[in-house]
Chains A and B, each alone.
Chain A
Amino acid sequence: MISWRAIAAILLVTGPALLAGEIPPDARRSGYAFMGPDTRAMQDDDTANPGMLFVLDGEQLWKKTTGAADKACADCHGDARSSMKGIAARYPAFDKALGRPVTLDQRINLCRADHQQATPLPYESRDLLALSAFVGHQSRGIPITAGDDPQVKPFVDQGRALFMQREGQLNLACTNCHDDNFGKRLAGAPITQGQPTGYPLYRLEWQTLGSIERRLRSCMTGVRAQAYDYGSPELVALQLYLMSRARGLPMETPAVRP
Protein backbone atom coordinates (compact mmCIF):
# COMPACT_ATOMS: atom_id res chain seq x y z
CA MET A 1 0.00 0.00 0.00
CA ILE A 2 1.31 3.42 -0.90
CA SER A 3 0.99 5.82 1.98
CA TRP A 4 0.13 9.48 1.52
CA ARG A 5 3.61 10.28 2.73
CA ALA A 6 5.07 8.28 -0.15
CA ILE A 7 2.80 10.09 -2.57
CA ALA A 8 3.79 13.42 -1.07
CA ALA A 9 7.43 12.43 -1.41
CA ILE A 10 6.97 11.57 -5.08
CA LEU A 11 5.18 14.85 -5.71
CA LEU A 12 8.01 16.69 -4.00
CA VAL A 13 10.58 14.97 -6.14
CA THR A 14 8.81 15.49 -9.45
CA GLY A 15 7.26 18.89 -8.73
CA PRO A 16 8.79 22.25 -9.57
CA ALA A 17 11.82 23.51 -7.66
CA LEU A 18 10.20 23.52 -4.26
CA LEU A 19 12.48 23.11 -1.30
CA ALA A 20 11.70 20.37 1.19
CA GLY A 21 9.28 21.45 3.87
CA GLU A 22 7.96 24.40 1.90
CA ILE A 23 4.32 25.07 1.25
CA PRO A 24 3.36 24.59 -2.42
CA PRO A 25 1.77 27.67 -4.07
CA ASP A 26 -1.74 26.26 -4.21
CA ALA A 27 -1.65 25.36 -0.51
CA ARG A 28 -0.64 28.85 0.66
CA ARG A 29 -3.20 30.46 2.94
CA SER A 30 -3.31 33.84 4.54
CA GLY A 31 -3.77 34.04 8.31
CA TYR A 32 -7.29 35.17 7.38
CA ALA A 33 -8.20 31.58 6.46
CA PHE A 34 -7.48 30.44 10.02
CA MET A 35 -9.59 33.06 11.78
CA GLY A 36 -13.06 32.89 13.25
CA PRO A 37 -16.06 34.57 11.60
CA ASP A 38 -16.01 37.60 13.95
CA THR A 39 -12.44 38.56 13.23
CA ARG A 40 -12.96 38.01 9.50
CA ALA A 41 -16.04 40.21 9.54
CA MET A 42 -14.04 42.92 11.30
CA GLN A 43 -11.35 42.80 8.64
CA ASP A 44 -13.84 42.73 5.77
CA ASP A 45 -15.88 45.75 6.84
CA ASP A 46 -13.91 48.98 6.45
CA THR A 47 -16.18 50.75 8.90
CA ALA A 48 -15.44 48.12 11.59
CA ASN A 49 -11.75 47.52 10.79
CA PRO A 50 -9.74 49.55 13.34
CA GLY A 51 -6.78 49.53 10.94
CA MET A 52 -8.71 51.84 8.61
CA LEU A 53 -8.34 54.66 11.15
CA PHE A 54 -4.58 54.44 10.63
CA VAL A 55 -5.06 54.41 6.87
CA LEU A 56 -7.07 57.64 7.14
CA ASP A 57 -4.38 59.20 9.33
CA GLY A 58 -1.80 58.10 6.78
CA GLU A 59 -3.73 59.80 4.02
CA GLN A 60 -3.53 63.10 5.92
CA LEU A 61 0.20 62.66 6.53
CA TRP A 62 0.70 61.87 2.85
CA LYS A 63 -0.61 65.33 1.97
CA LYS A 64 1.06 67.20 4.79
CA THR A 65 4.29 69.12 4.15
CA THR A 66 7.11 68.44 6.59
CA GLY A 67 10.86 68.79 7.14
CA ALA A 68 13.29 71.51 6.06
CA ALA A 69 12.31 70.96 2.42
CA ASP A 70 8.69 71.66 3.33
CA LYS A 71 7.45 68.99 0.97
CA ALA A 72 4.71 66.41 1.27
CA CYS A 73 4.85 62.83 -0.03
CA ALA A 74 2.15 63.91 -2.47
CA ASP A 75 4.42 66.66 -3.91
CA CYS A 76 6.65 63.97 -5.39
CA HIS A 77 4.26 61.03 -5.75
CA GLY A 78 0.93 62.67 -6.48
CA ASP A 79 -2.19 60.60 -5.96
CA ALA A 80 -1.23 57.51 -4.00
CA ARG A 81 -4.19 55.61 -5.46
CA SER A 82 -2.27 55.29 -8.69
CA SER A 83 1.38 55.97 -7.76
CA MET A 84 1.44 53.58 -4.79
CA LYS A 85 -0.71 50.84 -6.28
CA GLY A 86 1.13 47.51 -6.03
CA ILE A 87 4.20 49.01 -4.37
CA ALA A 88 3.86 47.26 -0.99
CA ALA A 89 3.40 43.92 -2.78
CA ARG A 90 7.01 44.11 -3.96
CA TYR A 91 8.66 45.29 -0.73
CA PRO A 92 11.28 44.79 0.77
CA ALA A 93 12.88 45.97 -2.50
CA PHE A 94 16.46 46.43 -3.57
CA ASP A 95 17.91 49.92 -3.07
CA LYS A 96 20.68 50.60 -5.58
CA ALA A 97 22.40 53.29 -3.51
CA LEU A 98 22.52 51.12 -0.40
CA GLY A 99 23.19 47.88 -2.26
CA ARG A 100 20.67 46.01 -0.11
CA PRO A 101 16.92 45.54 0.23
CA VAL A 102 14.95 48.04 2.29
CA THR A 103 11.54 47.63 3.87
CA LEU A 104 8.62 49.94 3.20
CA ASP A 105 9.18 51.54 6.62
CA GLN A 106 12.81 52.16 5.73
CA ARG A 107 11.82 53.54 2.31
CA ILE A 108 9.46 56.00 3.97
CA ASN A 109 12.28 57.18 6.25
CA LEU A 110 14.71 57.38 3.30
CA CYS A 111 12.24 59.66 1.54
CA ARG A 112 11.94 61.73 4.68
CA ALA A 113 15.72 62.05 4.95
CA ASP A 114 16.52 62.63 1.28
CA HIS A 115 13.54 64.51 -0.07
CA GLN A 116 11.80 66.08 2.88
CA GLN A 117 14.87 66.67 5.03
CA ALA A 118 12.90 65.48 8.00
CA THR A 119 13.89 63.31 10.96
CA PRO A 120 13.18 59.58 10.73
CA LEU A 121 9.98 58.32 12.27
CA PRO A 122 10.71 55.77 15.02
CA TYR A 123 9.70 52.15 14.39
CA GLU A 124 6.18 51.37 15.64
CA SER A 125 5.39 55.08 16.00
CA ARG A 126 1.85 56.01 15.09
CA ASP A 127 2.92 58.16 12.13
CA LEU A 128 5.14 55.50 10.58
CA LEU A 129 2.44 52.84 10.99
CA ALA A 130 -0.15 55.22 9.53
CA LEU A 131 1.96 56.01 6.47
CA SER A 132 2.88 52.39 5.83
CA ALA A 133 -0.75 51.33 6.35
CA PHE A 134 -1.87 53.99 3.85
CA VAL A 135 0.73 52.95 1.28
CA GLY A 136 0.12 49.24 1.95
CA HIS A 137 -3.61 49.72 1.57
CA GLN A 138 -3.09 50.85 -2.04
CA SER A 139 -1.97 47.27 -2.77
CA ARG A 140 -4.98 45.55 -1.21
CA GLY A 141 -5.93 42.63 -3.45
CA ILE A 142 -2.69 42.75 -5.45
CA PRO A 143 -0.64 39.52 -5.53
CA ILE A 144 2.73 39.56 -3.79
CA THR A 145 5.80 39.54 -6.06
CA ALA A 146 8.53 40.67 -3.61
CA GLY A 147 11.65 38.58 -3.96
CA ASP A 148 11.37 38.18 -7.74
CA ASP A 149 14.18 40.69 -8.36
CA PRO A 150 17.37 38.63 -8.87
CA GLN A 151 19.38 41.26 -6.97
CA VAL A 152 17.65 40.32 -3.71
CA LYS A 153 18.22 36.58 -4.11
CA PRO A 154 21.08 36.37 -1.56
CA PHE A 155 18.92 38.18 0.99
CA VAL A 156 15.98 35.85 0.37
CA ASP A 157 18.35 32.95 0.94
CA GLN A 158 19.60 34.52 4.16
CA GLY A 159 16.02 34.94 5.32
CA ARG A 160 15.24 31.34 4.50
CA ALA A 161 18.23 30.16 6.51
CA LEU A 162 17.01 32.22 9.47
CA PHE A 163 13.52 30.76 9.06
CA MET A 164 14.95 27.23 9.24
CA GLN A 165 17.29 27.94 12.14
CA ARG A 166 16.31 26.59 15.53
CA GLU A 167 16.81 29.24 18.19
CA GLY A 168 16.09 30.33 21.72
CA GLN A 169 15.85 28.37 24.93
CA LEU A 170 12.92 26.39 23.48
CA ASN A 171 15.07 25.54 20.44
CA LEU A 172 12.35 26.00 17.82
CA ALA A 173 12.57 27.36 14.28
CA CYS A 174 9.91 29.34 12.44
CA THR A 175 9.53 26.36 10.09
CA ASN A 176 8.65 24.03 12.99
CA CYS A 177 5.44 25.93 13.58
CA HIS A 178 4.61 27.69 10.31
CA ASP A 179 5.55 24.96 7.77
CA ASP A 180 5.14 21.80 9.83
CA ASN A 181 2.32 22.58 12.25
CA PHE A 182 -0.02 25.18 10.80
CA GLY A 183 -3.66 24.40 11.46
CA LYS A 184 -2.83 23.10 14.93
CA ARG A 185 -3.05 24.96 18.22
CA LEU A 186 -0.27 26.32 20.37
CA ALA A 187 -2.15 26.32 23.67
CA GLY A 188 -5.08 28.61 22.78
CA ALA A 189 -3.75 30.10 19.55
CA PRO A 190 -4.31 28.61 16.09
CA ILE A 191 -0.97 28.41 14.29
CA THR A 192 -1.13 29.85 10.79
CA GLN A 193 1.36 29.63 7.95
CA GLY A 194 2.89 32.91 9.15
CA GLN A 195 2.06 34.72 5.93
CA PRO A 196 2.98 38.42 5.74
CA THR A 197 -0.02 39.48 3.66
CA GLY A 198 -1.76 41.85 6.05
CA TYR A 199 0.88 44.18 7.51
CA PRO A 200 0.81 46.54 9.15
CA LEU A 201 -2.21 44.96 10.80
CA TYR A 202 -4.49 45.37 13.77
CA ARG A 203 -3.98 42.66 16.36
CA LEU A 204 -6.69 42.46 19.00
CA GLU A 205 -4.10 41.24 21.51
CA TRP A 206 -2.04 44.40 20.91
CA GLN A 207 -5.04 46.72 20.83
CA THR A 208 -3.29 48.62 18.06
CA LEU A 209 -1.75 48.41 14.63
CA GLY A 210 1.67 46.74 14.48
CA SER A 211 4.36 46.07 11.91
CA ILE A 212 5.50 42.67 10.76
CA GLU A 213 8.75 43.30 12.60
CA ARG A 214 6.84 43.55 15.85
CA ARG A 215 5.20 40.20 15.04
CA LEU A 216 8.51 38.51 14.23
CA ARG A 217 10.05 39.87 17.42
CA SER A 218 7.09 38.41 19.35
CA CYS A 219 7.62 34.97 17.86
CA MET A 220 11.32 35.15 18.72
CA THR A 221 10.55 36.25 22.27
CA GLY A 222 8.05 33.39 22.45
CA VAL A 223 10.76 30.80 21.87
CA ARG A 224 12.90 32.73 24.36
CA ALA A 225 15.36 33.93 21.74
CA GLN A 226 16.99 37.35 21.76
CA ALA A 227 14.84 39.24 19.23
CA TYR A 228 16.65 41.09 16.42
CA ASP A 229 16.44 44.89 16.53
CA TYR A 230 13.92 46.75 14.43
CA GLY A 231 15.41 47.42 11.01
CA SER A 232 18.24 44.92 11.47
CA PRO A 233 19.48 43.10 8.35
CA GLU A 234 18.15 39.84 9.81
CA LEU A 235 14.59 41.12 10.18
CA VAL A 236 14.72 42.58 6.66
CA ALA A 237 15.94 39.25 5.29
CA LEU A 238 13.23 37.34 7.17
CA GLN A 239 10.56 39.69 5.81
CA LEU A 240 11.88 39.24 2.31
CA TYR A 241 11.84 35.47 2.63
CA LEU A 242 8.31 35.56 4.06
CA MET A 243 7.16 37.72 1.13
CA SER A 244 8.78 35.41 -1.44
CA ARG A 245 7.23 32.45 0.39
CA ALA A 246 3.84 34.18 0.05
CA ARG A 247 4.31 34.78 -3.68
CA GLY A 248 0.94 35.14 -5.40
CA LEU A 249 -1.13 35.70 -2.25
CA PRO A 250 -3.06 38.98 -2.35
CA MET A 251 -2.15 41.83 0.01
CA GLU A 252 -4.74 42.57 2.72
CA THR A 253 -3.41 45.68 4.47
CA PRO A 254 -4.71 46.54 6.99
CA ALA A 255 -5.65 43.03 8.12
CA VAL A 256 -7.13 42.14 11.52
CA ARG A 257 -5.78 39.25 13.59
CA PRO A 258 -6.72 37.88 17.00
Chain B
Amino acid sequence: MERACRHDHSAPPPPPAGEGWGEGVSARENPQEEGALTRRFAMTSSASGRGERSPRRPPSVHRTSVAAALIAASVTLPISAEAQELVPYTIVGDGIPQSLTGSPGDAARGRVLMLARTTTCILCHSGPFPETRFQGDLAPDLSGTGNRWSVSQLRLRLVDASRFNPDTIMPSYYRNGGLVRVGRNFAGKPILSAAEIEDIVAFLATLRD
Protein backbone atom coordinates (compact mmCIF):
# COMPACT_ATOMS: atom_id res chain seq x y z
CA MET B 1 0.00 0.00 0.00
CA GLU B 2 2.75 2.44 -0.85
CA ARG B 3 0.31 4.12 -3.14
CA ALA B 4 1.01 7.52 -1.69
CA CYS B 5 4.44 7.77 -3.17
CA ARG B 6 4.83 5.25 -5.94
CA HIS B 7 4.15 7.58 -8.77
CA ASP B 8 6.52 10.15 -7.38
CA HIS B 9 9.52 7.86 -7.53
CA SER B 10 10.45 8.48 -11.11
CA ALA B 11 13.36 10.87 -11.11
CA PRO B 12 12.69 14.00 -13.12
CA PRO B 13 14.49 13.77 -16.46
CA PRO B 14 17.25 16.24 -17.20
CA PRO B 15 15.67 19.50 -18.27
CA PRO B 16 14.98 19.25 -21.99
CA ALA B 17 17.03 21.51 -24.22
CA GLY B 18 15.74 24.77 -25.61
CA GLU B 19 14.05 26.13 -22.51
CA GLY B 20 13.11 29.79 -22.29
CA TRP B 21 10.68 31.96 -24.13
CA GLY B 22 11.55 31.20 -27.71
CA GLU B 23 13.75 32.60 -30.40
CA GLY B 24 15.61 35.69 -29.37
CA VAL B 25 13.97 35.78 -25.97
CA SER B 26 15.93 33.52 -23.69
CA ALA B 27 17.41 35.36 -20.76
CA ARG B 28 18.92 32.45 -19.00
CA GLU B 29 22.57 32.21 -19.94
CA ASN B 30 24.99 33.26 -17.27
CA PRO B 31 25.61 36.95 -17.24
CA GLN B 32 29.25 37.91 -17.34
CA GLU B 33 30.99 37.37 -14.09
CA GLU B 34 31.33 40.24 -11.72
CA GLY B 35 34.46 42.25 -12.40
CA ALA B 36 37.29 42.73 -9.95
CA LEU B 37 36.17 46.25 -9.13
CA THR B 38 33.51 45.25 -6.66
CA ARG B 39 34.30 44.98 -3.01
CA ARG B 40 33.11 44.93 0.56
CA PHE B 41 29.54 46.10 1.02
CA ALA B 42 26.10 45.97 -0.44
CA MET B 43 23.03 48.12 -0.48
CA THR B 44 19.77 46.57 0.49
CA SER B 45 16.97 47.22 -1.90
CA SER B 46 13.51 48.50 -1.20
CA ALA B 47 11.86 46.33 -3.85
CA SER B 48 8.86 44.63 -2.38
CA GLY B 49 9.46 41.23 -3.93
CA ARG B 50 5.74 40.95 -4.64
CA GLY B 51 3.71 40.80 -7.76
CA GLU B 52 0.57 41.92 -6.00
CA ARG B 53 -0.73 45.05 -7.57
CA SER B 54 -0.98 48.17 -5.57
CA PRO B 55 -2.22 51.40 -7.07
CA ARG B 56 0.52 53.50 -8.58
CA ARG B 57 0.94 56.92 -7.15
CA PRO B 58 0.23 59.76 -9.56
CA PRO B 59 3.49 61.03 -11.11
CA SER B 60 3.65 64.35 -9.26
CA VAL B 61 3.29 62.82 -5.81
CA HIS B 62 5.61 60.10 -6.97
CA ARG B 63 8.48 62.39 -7.91
CA THR B 64 8.32 64.34 -4.67
CA SER B 65 8.21 61.23 -2.56
CA VAL B 66 11.16 59.81 -4.45
CA ALA B 67 13.11 62.94 -3.73
CA ALA B 68 12.07 62.88 -0.09
CA ALA B 69 12.85 59.25 0.35
CA LEU B 70 16.19 59.42 -1.34
CA ILE B 71 17.78 62.47 0.20
CA ALA B 72 21.40 61.65 0.84
CA ALA B 73 20.64 58.10 1.85
CA SER B 74 23.86 56.22 2.34
CA VAL B 75 23.26 52.73 3.61
CA THR B 76 25.97 50.15 3.82
CA LEU B 77 24.86 46.88 5.30
CA PRO B 78 26.71 43.61 5.53
CA ILE B 79 25.09 40.83 3.56
CA SER B 80 24.81 37.07 3.82
CA ALA B 81 27.90 34.93 3.41
CA GLU B 82 27.07 33.46 -0.01
CA ALA B 83 26.21 36.76 -1.64
CA GLN B 84 28.81 38.30 -3.85
CA GLU B 85 30.05 41.61 -2.53
CA LEU B 86 28.95 44.80 -4.22
CA VAL B 87 30.72 48.13 -4.26
CA PRO B 88 29.19 50.57 -1.82
CA TYR B 89 27.44 53.54 -3.34
CA THR B 90 25.76 56.67 -2.12
CA ILE B 91 22.35 57.85 -3.24
CA VAL B 92 22.03 61.62 -3.39
CA GLY B 93 18.61 63.03 -4.23
CA ASP B 94 17.21 60.77 -6.94
CA GLY B 95 20.49 59.51 -8.26
CA ILE B 96 23.92 58.05 -7.66
CA PRO B 97 26.32 60.83 -8.68
CA GLN B 98 29.57 58.86 -8.38
CA SER B 99 30.66 56.19 -10.82
CA LEU B 100 30.47 52.73 -9.25
CA THR B 101 33.93 51.96 -10.56
CA GLY B 102 35.48 55.35 -9.95
CA SER B 103 35.91 55.94 -13.68
CA PRO B 104 33.56 56.72 -16.56
CA GLY B 105 32.06 53.85 -18.55
CA ASP B 106 32.68 53.07 -22.21
CA ALA B 107 29.62 53.93 -24.31
CA ALA B 108 30.61 51.65 -27.20
CA ARG B 109 30.90 48.66 -24.90
CA GLY B 110 27.63 49.76 -23.30
CA ARG B 111 25.83 49.58 -26.63
CA VAL B 112 27.04 46.04 -27.26
CA LEU B 113 25.99 45.05 -23.75
CA MET B 114 22.54 46.61 -24.10
CA LEU B 115 21.88 44.54 -27.21
CA ALA B 116 23.10 41.27 -25.70
CA ARG B 117 20.18 39.01 -24.73
CA THR B 118 21.82 38.07 -21.47
CA THR B 119 21.79 41.70 -20.34
CA THR B 120 17.95 41.47 -20.62
CA CYS B 121 17.21 45.18 -21.38
CA ILE B 122 15.65 44.61 -24.78
CA LEU B 123 13.44 41.82 -23.54
CA CYS B 124 11.29 44.73 -22.38
CA HIS B 125 12.63 47.88 -24.06
CA SER B 126 13.05 49.00 -27.62
CA GLY B 127 15.38 51.73 -28.81
CA PRO B 128 17.30 53.13 -31.77
CA PHE B 129 18.82 49.75 -32.65
CA PRO B 130 17.82 49.13 -36.28
CA GLU B 131 20.00 46.02 -36.56
CA THR B 132 18.20 44.21 -33.74
CA ARG B 133 15.17 42.21 -34.79
CA PHE B 134 13.56 41.33 -31.50
CA GLN B 135 12.82 44.19 -29.14
CA GLY B 136 10.25 44.24 -26.38
CA ASP B 137 7.39 46.64 -25.74
CA LEU B 138 6.73 46.15 -22.05
CA ALA B 139 8.66 49.33 -21.27
CA PRO B 140 9.33 52.80 -22.74
CA ASP B 141 11.41 53.15 -25.91
CA LEU B 142 14.89 54.24 -24.90
CA SER B 143 15.36 56.79 -27.69
CA GLY B 144 16.12 60.18 -26.20
CA THR B 145 16.90 58.77 -22.76
CA GLY B 146 19.91 61.08 -22.46
CA ASN B 147 17.64 64.14 -22.82
CA ARG B 148 15.29 63.01 -20.11
CA TRP B 149 17.61 61.69 -17.44
CA SER B 150 20.93 62.69 -15.93
CA VAL B 151 23.80 60.23 -15.64
CA SER B 152 23.26 60.18 -11.89
CA GLN B 153 19.57 59.25 -12.32
CA LEU B 154 20.36 56.63 -14.94
CA ARG B 155 22.87 55.00 -12.62
CA LEU B 156 20.30 54.68 -9.82
CA ARG B 157 17.67 53.50 -12.30
CA LEU B 158 19.91 50.60 -13.30
CA VAL B 159 21.10 49.85 -9.79
CA ASP B 160 17.60 49.80 -8.33
CA ALA B 161 14.67 50.97 -10.47
CA SER B 162 12.28 50.25 -7.60
CA ARG B 163 13.56 53.48 -6.01
CA PHE B 164 11.63 55.38 -8.69
CA ASN B 165 8.58 53.15 -8.72
CA PRO B 166 8.17 50.53 -6.00
CA ASP B 167 5.94 48.37 -8.25
CA THR B 168 8.13 48.51 -11.31
CA ILE B 169 8.75 45.34 -13.27
CA MET B 170 12.23 46.57 -14.20
CA PRO B 171 14.73 44.41 -12.31
CA SER B 172 17.28 45.92 -9.95
CA TYR B 173 20.52 45.21 -11.79
CA TYR B 174 22.89 45.76 -8.91
CA ARG B 175 21.46 43.76 -6.09
CA ASN B 176 22.64 40.48 -4.65
CA GLY B 177 20.03 39.33 -2.17
CA GLY B 178 16.53 39.61 -0.74
CA LEU B 179 15.07 37.80 -3.76
CA VAL B 180 12.96 34.64 -3.86
CA ARG B 181 14.16 31.27 -5.28
CA VAL B 182 16.97 32.66 -7.38
CA GLY B 183 18.37 29.99 -9.72
CA ARG B 184 21.48 28.18 -8.53
CA ASN B 185 23.71 29.81 -11.14
CA PHE B 186 22.57 33.30 -10.26
CA ALA B 187 22.13 33.24 -6.50
CA GLY B 188 23.97 35.97 -4.63
CA LYS B 189 25.10 37.70 -7.81
CA PRO B 190 23.91 40.99 -9.23
CA ILE B 191 22.55 40.79 -12.79
CA LEU B 192 25.26 43.16 -14.01
CA SER B 193 28.67 44.09 -12.69
CA ALA B 194 29.56 47.61 -11.62
CA ALA B 195 31.66 48.03 -14.78
CA GLU B 196 28.80 46.83 -17.00
CA ILE B 197 26.43 49.29 -15.37
CA GLU B 198 28.87 52.14 -15.97
CA ASP B 199 29.24 51.17 -19.63
CA ILE B 200 25.47 51.04 -20.13
CA VAL B 201 24.94 54.33 -18.29
CA ALA B 202 27.55 55.96 -20.54
CA PHE B 203 25.74 54.62 -23.59
CA LEU B 204 22.26 55.67 -22.40
CA ALA B 205 23.55 59.21 -21.88
CA THR B 206 24.45 59.35 -25.60
CA LEU B 207 20.85 58.58 -26.64
CA ARG B 208 19.63 62.05 -27.58
CA ASP B 209 16.93 63.09 -30.03
Number of interface residues of B (CB under 8 A): 55
The binding surface of chain B is classed by DSSP as: loop
Among B51, B120, B137, the most chain A Cβ lie within 10 Å of the Cβ of B51
Binds A, one of B105-113, B151-159, B182-190, B200-208: B182-190
The binding surface of chain A is classed by DSSP as: loop
Closest to A109 in B: B7
Interface string of B130-154 (1 = CB under 8 A from A): 0001111110000000000000000
Among the listed B4, B18, B183, which residue makes an inter-chain contact with A224, where contact means beta carbons less than 8 Å apart? B183
Q: Give the number of A-B contacts (CB < 8 Å).
A: 183
Number of interface residues of A (CB under 8 A): 62
Q: Give the contacts of A215-258 with B (CB-CB under 8 A).
A: 217-227, 229-231, 258
Among the listed B22, B49, B52, B117, which residue makes an inter-chain contact with A205, where contact means beta carbons less than 8 Å apart? B22
Q: Give the contacts of B44-81 with A (CB-CB under 8 A).
A: 47-53
Binds B, one of A49-57, A66-74, A133-141, A170-178: A170-178
Q: Is the Cβ of B22 less than 8 Å from the Cβ of A258?
A: yes
Among the listed A167, A174, A207, which residue makes an inter-chain contact with B180, where contact means beta carbons less than 8 Å apart? A167
Q: Give the contacts of B1-19 with A (CB-CB under 8 A).
A: 3-4, 6-13, 15-16, 18-19
Residues of A within 8 A of B21 (CB): 186-187, 189, 218-219, 222
Partner-B contacts on A (CB < 8 A): 20-21, 97-98, 106, 109-110, 112-114, 119-125, 163-177, 180-181, 184-189, 191, 205-208, 210, 214, 217-227, 229-231, 258
